[in-house]
A = this chain, B = another copy of it.
Amino acid sequence: MINKRQLLAERPKGMPNESTWTFVEETVPALKDGEILIEQSHISLDPAMRGWMNDARSYIPPVGIGEVMRAGSVGKVIDTQGDTKFKVGDYVTGWGGVQQYYVGDGSGFVQIESNPDNHTKYLGVLGMPGMTAYFGILEVGEIKEGDVVLVSGGAGAVGSVVGQIAKIKGCTVIGIAGGPKKCAYMTDELGFDGAIDYKNENVVSGIKRNCPKGIDVYFDNVGGDILDAALVFIRKNARIVICGAISQYNTTTGMQGPKNYLSLLVNRGSMKGMVVLDYVDHYREAMQIMAGWMQEGKLKAKEDVYDGIENFRDTFYRLFSGEKLGKLVLKIKP
């Protein structure tokens, strides 16, 4: 049985290119005792992947050169050997990587429902991005009813959930995204109170227009100039959640720091980083609450699904080009 895989070939400087990954076809090895074989149907593409490729101290070790590229995945257990964590026929989600078949002890995987219509949800709203949104806005952002919440990447996998949770909790929510389609998605489908199209509007003006009284919580997925614009408008005791900085991940000219950070002093604000892995013991509870909101129609999620493991690199670029709406997923089961 042939396993198509994308291996990290070299550490990119700036945006990954044709030399970054090697696409290989390898024979699936025989299972050892305690191992399972997962046929993976979908992998998750997330901005965090870019960080995992750098040889830098971070919250998890970098992907090694020659190793399969790390990625969240969903799939079905199709073989087992000996005493194993899962049985044949189980559907699971975990860190299967950018490959068609996963072989290992299944550590880090959890079982999911069998309905295939919902499987990609476990890479999005019920997966890492959804958990990031849930714990980020509730535990780090500490939102309370009546807060004005601004979220960048508001049409994306994390931001769209952040905004909807804030709406559920009684906040006023303004989203920032690129282009009229994403902005309409935020206001018309997700129920945000306002949208700022950073590709067609000055963000400072947009925040001023939408948040005349300032911002209580800013959930930042992008960094750069948008973070600086948000800092201008924070209110007293505002919280800034640092979830990501997609505008900066592929920089080759040096990171751009928030030059308006002294607004934190003037307004007694805080800027706090978060890593979703810290909340793993509470994922189950969060997933139950979020699934309930979905059933009630209060929480919507969209996946933007592309096809073919050989298209991994081109699909990866969509994370940074803005050409996707919702959670970016790659279907890898032919």
Number of copies: 2
Q: When chains A and B are docked, how far (Å) is the Cα of A265 from the Cα of B257?
A: 13
- Minimal Cβ-Cβ distance residue in B for A234: B273
- A273, B269: Cβ atoms under 8 Å? yes
In the complex, which residues of chain B have a beta carbon less than 8 angstroms from the beta carbon of A258? 257-258, 261
User: Main secondary structure on chain A at its contact with chain B?
Assistant: loop
Interface string of A246-285 (1 = CB under 8 A from B): 0010000011111111111111111111110010000000
- A271, B270: Cβ atoms under 8 Å? yes
Most chain B CB inside 10 Å of its own CB: which residue of A248, A257, A260, A263: A257
Q: When chains A and B are docked, how far (Å) is the Cα of A245 from the Cα of B266?
A: 12
Shortest distance in angstroms between A205's beta carbon and chain B's nearest beta carbon? 17
Q: How many residues of A contact B (CB 8 A)?
A: 33
- Minimal Cβ-Cβ distance residue in B for A270: B272
Q: A254-B259, A257-B228, A261-B261 are in contact. Are A57 and B273 (CB under 8 A)?
A: no
Q: When chains A and B are docked, how far (Å) is the Cα of A245 from the Cα of B260?
A: 12
In the complex, which residues of chain B have a beta carbon less than 8 angstroms from the beta carbon of A248? 262
Most chain B CB inside 10 Å of its own CB: which residue of A223, A244, A256, A270: A270
Shortest distance in angstroms between A129's beta carbon and chain B's nearest beta carbon? 15
- A265, B255: Cβ atoms under 8 Å? no
In the complex, which residues of chain B have a beta carbon less than 8 angstroms from the beta carbon of A270? 270-273
In the complex, which residues of chain B have a beta carbon less than 8 angstroms from the beta carbon of A243? 265
Q: A255-B260, A262-B255 are in contact. Are A271 and B268 (CB under 8 A)?
A: no
Q: When chains A and B are docked, how far (Å) is the Cα of A59 from the Cα of B270?
A: 15
- B268, A273: Cβ atoms under 8 Å? yes
Instruction: Indicate if A329 sits at the interface (CB-CB under 8 A).
Output: no
Shortest distance in angstroms between A229's beta carbon and chain B's nearest beta carbon? 13
Q: When chains A and B are docked, how far (Å) is the Cα of A271 from the Cα of B258?
A: 12
In the complex, which residues of chain B have a beta carbon less than 8 angstroms from the beta carbon of A273? 262-270
Q: When chains A and B are docked, how far (Å) is the Cα of A245 from the Cα of B278?
A: 32
- A266, B228: Cβ atoms under 8 Å? no
The chain A residues found within 8 Å of chain B, CB to CB, are 57-59, 223, 228, 242-245, 248, 254-275, 278
